[in-house]
Amino acid sequence: MKLYYSPYSPFSRKVRIAAAALGFGAELELTPTETINPDDPIRQKNPLGKIPTLETDDGDCIFDSAVIAAWLDAQAGGGRIIPRDPKARTRALVLESLADGLAEAAVLIIYESRFREPEERSGKWLAHQGEKIARALARLEQAPPALAGTPDIGQIALACALGYLDLRFSGEWRATHPRLVAWLDDFAETTPAFAATAA
């Protein structure tokens, strides 16, 4: 199976770590993608032109990252990174949404300079996205999710969101979120794919 991805995308990294945790790491054919290049094949695979997009050996294209992760979990028999127990499952999926929303806000801040001339940038918009990140970090710092054995998809998403803040914002979040820093260290230690997928 083929993963259309970028090494810098937190959502691509989430899928790569999920695949590794499920034992599919070697089967994932990594296909670098330029989403802003109109001639890149990604727009044929996913009309939204977004990564990650997974193309199965049958030629089906699967997106977004949450749907890919759920599909990989099902391929591995189910209940591995997406818990079967309803309460634990909802907790993992809501954490995935929170972490993805945090990463999405960070991506929108980066796009502000990538897509726009300096005079087209909006302090109001940047503040709106920055506040989402700050509130999500504050909530997560209160009680980082407990790690035990294979991480769930929420924990994987959280590690990738924090990794993206490290990559793009020089790890500024670290000074004020010591519990999350310790949590990410634990995650990295128990999940070697995290270091292996660093950009």
Site residues for a second copy per CB under 8 A: 36, 43, 46-50, 60-64, 66-67, 70-71, 74, 86, 90, 93-94, 96-98, 101-102, 105, 111, 115-117, 119-122, 124-125, 128, 131-132, 135-136, 138-139
User: Closest CB to a second copy among 111 and 178?
Assistant: 111
Peptide bond into 64 cis (omega under 30): yes
- Rounded Cα distance between 187 and 1, Å, is 27
Q: Of the two residues 134 and 188, which places its CB atom closer to a second copy in the complex?
A: 134
Least CB distance to a second copy at residue 195 (A): 28
3-class SS string, 25-94: HHHCEEEECCCCCCCCCHHHHCCCCCCCEEECCCCCEECCHHHHHHHHHHHCCCCCCCCCCHHHHHHHHH
SS3 call for 6? coil
Cβ of residue 67: shortest distance to a second copy, in angstroms?
Answer: 5
Residue 70 vs 193, nearer CB to a second copy: 70
Alpha-carbon distance of 81 to 69, in angstroms, equals: 8
Query: Please, what is the minimum distance in Å from the beta carbon of residue 182 to a second copy?
Result: 20
Is 21 within 8 Å of 156 (Cβ atoms)?
yes
Measured from the CB atom, the residue of 35 and 190 that comes closer to a second copy is 35
Query: Whole-number minimum distance, CB 191 to a second copy, in Å?
Result: 23
